Chains A and B, each alone.
Chain A
Amino acid sequence: MARAIVNVPSQAKRGEIIEIKTLAAHPMETGFRRTQLGELIPRDIIRRFVCTYNGAEVFRVDLHPAMAANPLIAFTTVATESGTIAFQWAGDNGYAVTESASIRVE
């Protein structure tokens, strides 16, 4: 089940540095492991995570094999104006999840 949890402060002061935490459910299979019969388990990872703030990209990550499952990505940005912060995860086998949160800036 493609599921993600995001934590964005619901309100902030203008110019304040806010911390954003995201958690995505994903096995992050590296593609280097083998089954007990010796068959290679195909790679299945999240390739890219993008965060946009009112449409402008503020944070982006390229992910590679050897990342832990269910990656927790935490980062900071500056609260500039009220609006929507949107998150996108994209990966192998058509994995695509979007999530968004609204923030009020005073």
Chain B
Amino acid sequence: MARETRAIQDDDTTNPGMLWVLDGEALWNKKAGTTDRACAACHGDARTSMKGVAARYPAFDTARGRPVNLEQRINLCRTQRQKAAALAFESRELLALTAYVARQSRGLPINIAIDARTRPFLDAGRETFHRRQGQLNLACSQCHDDNWGKRLAGSVIPQAHPTGYPLYRLEWQGLGSFERRLRNCLIGIRAEPYAYGAPEFVDLELYLMWRANGMKIETPAVRP
């Protein structure tokens, strides 16, 4: 990550991701659904109630019996508690709310706790990360474990630590989720990308977040 990009990210008045965070703050306080309650009605001030939450996700959901990521958690809350329609993946509203919630954890270390319930999903994510796929027959690990630090076209290959999602990618000219980034990677190796919210994606996200344990959350990050 270039010095200039980091400078844009670290200043809240130049970080374009903050435009989504401010939208998310408005949505947090806006009533929704048939119960006519806002997120703030239950959770109160997000600055305290949502602090550190993003650092724990994906987290196990007992009702579903599997880990869910932050976007899915927000939609579960909407459909079950607010009785509102689920927000579409990659919609501006869902990205804004996710960014606002995750922003409250900025600077806190990622802390994914693995127990007997989540271990099978962590193993599934690890398996996906190391499995060759697509027409180019590449595994995630071949770039991000074996060749990180080298260049793919003009860009440095990172170690795949998802510390800043949802993040503003200059190439996208907008905010995007972690799954959008994963779909990019899969298309890049000529593989069929999974659908948004697919269990394979959440398992992979769980594995990558677990690998990044201890690293600080940067949401909303800015990347080239």
Contacts and interface: CB of A to CB of B under 8 A. Distances in A.
A74 B4 CA distance: 14
Nearest to A68: B173
Interface of A: 1, 3, 5-7, 21, 23, 25, 27-28, 68-70, 72, 74
Interface of B: 8, 11-14, 16, 18-19, 22-23, 26, 92, 170, 173-174
Contact of B22 (A5, A69, A72): A5
B19 A23 contact: yes
28 contacts: A1-B26, A3-B19, A3-B22, A5-B12, A5-B13, A5-B18, A5-B19, A6-B13, A7-B13, A7-B14, A21-B11, A21-B13, A21-B14, A23-B14, A23-B16, A23-B19, A25-B16, A27-B173, A27-B174, A28-B173, A68-B170, A68-B173, A70-B16, A70-B19, A70-B173, A70-B174, A72-B8, A74-B14
Contacts of B174: 27, 69-70
Contacts of A70: 16, 19, 173-174
The 5 closest A-B pairs by CB, nearest first: A7-B13, A69-B173, A25-B19, A70-B16, A21-B13
Nearest to A8: B13
A52 B217 CA distance: 38
B21 to A, nearest CB: 10
Nearest to A7: B13
